[in-house]
Amino acid sequence: MKLFVDGAVFDYDGAGRGWQQIVKWVNRHLERDHVLKSVEESETYLHDNELTVIGLFPDGHDSSVFVKAARHYEDVVFAEARGNDIAAQIGEHLGRHAALLCETITVGQSESATKQVDLPRADLHCQDTPRNPQRPDWGDTFSVSVEGKRLTVKRTDQSAGWGQRVQIKCCDDEKKAEKEHPKFAVPSVVMFFPHDERYAVYDGDLADSQSLDRWVTARRTPTVMRMDQETAEKLFSANPENVPVLFLITSNSDTSEEKVFREAAVKLRGRVHCCLSGLNSPMERRTAEMAGVEGAGPVITLVETHSGTGPTGQYHAARKFRLPLEGLSADKIVSFVSDYEGNRLEPWLKSEPEPSAEDLKIGGPVGVLVGTNFRKTVEDETKDVLVDFYAPWCGHCRKFEPLYKELAKKLRHVKSLKIMKIDATRNEVESLQIMGFPTILLFPAGASPKRHAMYQGSRQPDDMIQWLHQECSIKFDDRPPPPKEGEDPVESGLLDPDEEDL
């Protein structure tokens, strides 16, 4: 089940199948904008949420664009102050909060009632209430104390450890923030986040919903991220802009490529998410596999987080684009992203080497396709093209292989029909998403881009021939012509006719 809200798509999180749970889930996405009534309430929002957008609006201001943006994000909390007085008071409090350098300290679980962790710097002020979301059935309470760069967390409701992954918010001296802090005007929109500059003031048109969405999306994640499970969830979760991800994938760190990549990331903020990924953890290895990286890298690749339609209007699955590393510079990376935005790049496809002329000469009755020659072959307007998408490890594919080969032999005389196969685990095909093996598709002769038909009947050759008669654009006679005198091949019975010369 999916919910579509102003172009953003949210998957049901499985909180229950009763109507009450579903209504609660829908309302959670529709009623995401909260009206702040006091300074204390704004402080609660800042404490409980890492990603917070607060609108400061005067009397009579139309905040409908702000409310619309609030519905587009699952991980960003929106709240607004309505009215001259309350907006000014909350704006003053936000200024003091912005001057504080705050950290979210991960304490984690504990087997005992007390746990100590190191702080990034000395004399931080830390809050007793955990920052991570608290479930209603948790009665855990804590007290914290700081000595130098050491944080001590003690459970106070009982003498036992805890199972939740506790996070504590710690900030610098508030007295300094009282003296020196930024001023936020009314009207304005301010966003707080735990990375980079830590807060920002929206400088666009308050009536432009797309501009506000782009601004929030650009600050929702760090300028450069490290790939892990949490990062993956942020990169590929729903957001209105569907921002692509630019990956630098390498087994090494602190390389010259990383330095250039970080320089480019600052210039590309809001246009792509920039992410560093190694090859060690399971998540990093899955990322490398998704990007088609073999070996130690480095590789820079842009990966779409969504499917869509290309310049011709044809549907395509999420695509990848690879940047050559010769003469790498920040400007070259920026130009690469600009070319992507202008639809001037060809997608990068994982592919085996194309068969050589010698391979084709000694090949059997079934032709072999790879990623790089797939489109050229199947889009031949003068041919009907039948393709078997298989996986080497698939038992059903191995069982079907001799039947498919027999089909190709029976129809080898039909010059208008090509019978091909492709290893779908080692080759990618643009605009097609293969969900099971074997998958048998026919691309009938005709204008490009071609439609395709899926065969789902019996895999016996005679049954498939009947289906081809119905679906092929070019009619054919499945009976081979009588052999000319002197051309009847002699079969030994040990090899196929195609293999007799071997």
* 378-437: pLDDT as tens digits: 999 999 999 999 999 999 999 999 999 999 999 999 999 999 999 998 898 877 878 889
**In the predicted model, is pLDDT for residue 98 greater than 60?**
yes
Residue 135 banded pLDDT, cuts 50, 70, 90: confident
Give the three-class secondary structure for 361: helix
Token pair recorded at residue 498: 């195609």
* Lowest-confidence region among 176-190, 203-217, 264-278: 176-190
Q: Which residues contact 473 (CB under 8 A, 6 or more apart)?
A: 384, 444, 445, 446
Write the DSSP string, 251-309.
S-SS-HHHHHHHHHHHHTTTT-EEEEE-SSSHHHHHHHHHTT--SS--EEEEE-SS-EE
Mean of per-residue pLDDT scores for the chain: 86
pLDDT at 312: 43
State the Cα–Cα distance between residues 491 and 470, nearest whole angstrom: 33
Domains located in the chain, CATH noted? 32-100+174-220 (3.40.30.10), 102-171 (no CATH), 222-348 (3.40.30.10), 357-471 (3.40.30.10)
Q: By C-alpha distance, which of 386, 383, 377 is closest to 407?
A: 386
Best mean pLDDT range from 16-30, 173-187, 353-367, 454-468: 454-468
For residues 215-242, give the mean pLDDT.
82
pLDDT at 347: 87
pLDDT at 502: 36
Quick check: 224 and 276 in contact, CB under 8 A?
A: yes
Amino acid letter, 206 = L
